[in-house]
Structure formats: structure tokens, C-alpha cells
Amino acid sequence: MSVSLAAGSRPQVEARGVPRHVAIIMDGNRRWAKQRGLPAIEGHRRGMIALRRVTRAASDLGVEVLTVYGFSTENWNRDAREISLLFELCVYFARNELIELRRNNVRVRVIGDWESLPGAPRRALAELQEQTSENTGLLLNLAVNYSSHAELERAVRAIARDVAAGELDPEGIDESLIGRYLYTANLPDLDLLIRPGGERRLSNFLLYQAAYAELFMTGVYWPDFSKDDFVRALTDFQQRERRFGGT
């Protein structure tokens, strides 16, 4: 649920209790464009601007990890022309956001089966990771060609191989070990998952990691998602009592 604020008021984030790891399902680009009589790709382009805005805000507010859902395995079912334009935008983002990312000391990592993408976006994402690898601030995880089900399948296969090779005792498999086989290995647990766009589902995103994450859903379409919207999500998080299954 979102936080209601009086007209003209601005939400404030307390320095203590900022979520370490925030994830966002960047939803509503196409509906934003349709409302305005624009092509879908314009919504995606404006979504890139929103990503820049929110990445800067997350960095400024002390978030350690920001994981965003950029392209799911299910998105391959979309119109081929839209997919092609999405990949062009991906290349554009990778090449044109580098200065901004360096200025804000943001390190980029790509998770998902991104290495199976066509050559141009694959190379652009590889270069973006390499060129920001020395940055020490916010870690921006771009989930590209990502599926939580596929991530879990990948982890199970890797665990099975290690067991078969005698490198892993089946009796030693626990929650902590499984986490080390996921894309998010060695990262802070997911604290907060934000979904703009009005939908109320996880859409195959970080299903394992979101077990005890707080959820923040809002009807604001992603291209319109502002720094204040991000701050509202964080202040809402700070007002919750996290019991992790306890009483």
C-alpha cells in the first residue's frame, strides 16, 4: 500500500532504517504511452529516464543494492518490432548513462540469461559492467532476460552437479547454501519490493528472495515514478514492523 500525504507535503526518509536492498518491477510503460496516444517504445524510453531518476535517488539515500526488472523471459512473447526497439534502447542506455553512473559511483551488474541476447545488447551490457566495475557506491542489478523460475532451475542444476561430483554433501544443503547459487549470492537480503503500474503480483521476479520482503504497490506508471514516489516507498517501509514470521 502507498502512503497518503497532505497536499504540498514532502515525505522524509529517516537516516536510520533505510532498506539495504530494494527491487523494482518497472511496470506501466506501455499503458502510460497508450493513455497519451504514443507508441509503446516512447513509454519504454521514458521508463529509462525514470530509472536514471530513481537510481540517483537510491544512491543519494544510502540504498546499497537496487535490483530492477528490465526484461523478462516472458517478454519474448511481445511483438518482434517492440522487442527489437527495446534492445536498441538497451544499447542506448548502456552507452549514454555511463557518465551519470560514474558521477554517482554506481556499479552495474546484469543478472539473468543476458548472455544469450543478440550481439549488440549483449556487448553493450558487458561493456557497461566492465566500465563501472571499479565504482564503490550503489550496486545496480539489471535483471535482463530474467525469470525467477529459470534462476531456481539453474541453481538446482548447479547444486545437483556439485553433489554428483562429490563436492557437496546433500545433507549440507540448507537455505543459506541455496542462496549462494542464486544470482543474488553475497548480496543483502531483499528488504523492499516496489511495483508501480497498479498490478498486484510478483510476475516471476525474485520469488525466492522476496520471501520476507515488504511489498509496496502503487498505481503510478513507471515513467511517472518520481523521487518523491521512491521516498514514499522507503518511508512506508520504515513505518512497518518486520517480524519475519514471528509474533
Q: Report the amino acid identity of residue 190.
A: L
Catalytic residue IDs: 27, 75
Burial class (CB in 10 A: 0-12, 13-18, 19+), 145: buried
Nearest to 12 by CA among 236, 235, 239: 235
**Cα separation of 167 and 180, whole Å?**
15
**Cα separation of 65 and 107, whole Å?**
10
- Cell 550481439 found at: 119
